[in-house]
Amino acid sequence: MRSQVRKKKRKELWYKIYSNKAALAGLIILGIYALILIFGPLVAPYDPYEIDLQNKLQGPSMEHLMGTDDKGRDILSRILYGSYLTVGVGFSAVLFGGSIGILLGLVAGYYGGRVDSIISRMIDVMLAFPGILLALAIVSALGTSLINVTIAVGFFSIPMFARIVRGSTMEVKKLEYIDAVRTLGANNIVILFRHILPNILSPIIIQASMRLATAILSAAGLSFLGLGAQPPSPEWGAMLSAGRDFLFNAPHMALFPGIMISFLVLGLNLLGDGLRDALDPRMKA
């Protein structure tokens, strides 16, 4: 019976996404990027690190579809290989920040009282700083690397998840079935992770999809500033940074990495809006 209900809900969700043109466009864009992630390194025509100074700063051609950079490296190959770095950093940052934020939100919303006050004040302090400035401060303190960028971007994602999960937990814990489960002898950990968390996944999924776009953009921005991926890494933000010195005589160096970042963020935002329309009960009303 439960499996049938779940199948019905999944069908309804997919129908709502398919009927939403913006969400469908986002799903198509992300599908293309998924193919790039899976098959990109296999179909890359050149070694992304191979230097060929005789062919540097060449424009797009049949030999190099996206041209070459100032070291003669094929830009298309570097973009295909760099997709792992760009998407991986964003995904890891959201996973890191989301895990901590969800845990804090569950504890604050369920226990309330002094525990809620302490966690809420911590979240307020984190929200007092603009996200990108907080990330800049963390990376400056830890040092320039993709791992530190992941930590920094994930850190300023914590308050977003914590606030949403806290509010949803406070609503769900008042429902009658939670009292029934508690009466049957279930401990707090079981109640939190088996009965409350599965019932507040909708806002978490929506927030994660929207936050992933912000994380990828922020990580690329830090690499653009020289605080993330370092040369010769083919990370898209670092490639965009390398191309800014050649905007007039070789604009393709910055154009193609910028397009890849822009469309990836666009696809995530479109799909996030579609998921919000499909999963948010307030949007249904």
CATH number, position 258 = 1.10.3720.10
Burial class (CB in 10 A: 0-12, 13-18, 19+), 274: buried
234: left (phi over 0), alpha (psi -120 to 50) or beta: alpha
* pLDDT of 63 strictly over 80: yes
Angle between the N-to-C axes of helices 252-279 and 2-19, in degrees from 0 to 180, rounded to the nearest 10: 130
Dump pLDDT digits (tens) for 19-40: 778 888 888 999 999 999 999 8
Instruction: Identify whether 45 is part of a domain.
Output: no
Residue-wise pLDDT for 210-247, tens only, equals 899 999 999 998 888 888 888 888 999 999 999 988 98
Domain contains 52:
no
Is 173 part of a structural domain of the chain?
A: yes
Instruction: Report if residue 19 sits inside a domain.
Output: no
CA distance 142 to 234: 22
Joined tokens for residue 243: 């191309």
pLDDT level of residue 5 (50, 70, 90 thresholds): low
Q: Does the residue 34 lie in any domain? A: no
Residue 273 lies in a domain: yes
- Give pLDDT, residue 285: 45
pLDDT of residue 4: 60
Is 29 inside a domain boundary?
no
Domain that holds residue 202: 71-284
- The verdict on residue 28 lying in a domain is no
